[in-house]
Amino acid sequence: MQLITPDCYAEFPDEFNQMHRLRHRVFRDRLDWDVSVSGGYEIDPFDALRPHYLLLRAPTGRIDGCVRLLPTTGPTMLRDSFSALLGDRSAPEDPRVWESSRFALDLPAAAPKQAASLLAPTSCLPGWSNLVCHASAQHRHLTDLRVERILRRAGWPLERLSDPQTIGNTRAVAGHLNVSTESLQALHRNGGFKGAVLWTPVMKIA
């Protein structure tokens, strides 16, 4: 796992290129979402807000997965684009609460079927949880129902903020993920990980 923080963007041009191409393959080509694309890249206005990115890197150097993380003290997808997913709740605005979005996984065709169906999706979750354990006391996740199932299977169930809504051609849901030592331990246990899974430029959270 690799965390790219805003102060380190310039050091990872290839990783950014791969990530945005991966998102194009997943969100436009595979899921047919109505997303902004250009030249084989998927990039939206929230990428201009200098988020943190968590990347799943294969031993070959290929980027196989990604998650985008934004603090809720600024604009977020949930507040500014998909407020219908809040139900009767207000959008969080707290330095301890971060929003994750753009969860994407694209394994090579040669990957074993078992890994493609179960192990690989959960393989990036310990690093994700490890990151938000250090960054925040709480976490809000904006996703669709397929990722909600992955989270539940991995032992990190989503507490829905409201009922799922149809957005375009997908069923979307927003929810709260409890960030704790216990949730991190469950992810490590369910994913079969025994050591650290996250490489990162040091991120300091006040």
Homologous superfamily of 2-191 in CATH?
Gcn5-related N-acetyltransferase (GNAT) (3.40.630.30)
Which ranges of 36-124 would DSSP assign to H, the alpha helix?
A: 77-80, 113-114, 120-123
How confident is the model at residue 159, as a pLDDT?
A: 86
Residues 152, 144: Cα–Cα separation, whole Å: 13
pLDDT along the chain (206 residues), means of 10: 90 96 93 93 97 88 89 92 89 86 77 39 49 47 74 81 88 83 74 61 43
- Strand stretches in the chain, DSSP E: 2-4, 37-38, 41-42, 52-57, 63-71, 97-105, 138-144, 159-160, 165-167, 170-178
Q: Indicate whether this model's pTM tops 0.85.
A: no
Q: DSSP 3-state assignment of 82?
A: coil
Alpha carbon of 56 to those of 66, 92, 116, 159, 200: distances in Å? 6, 27, 14, 25, 12
How confident is the model at residue 109, as a pLDDT?
A: 63
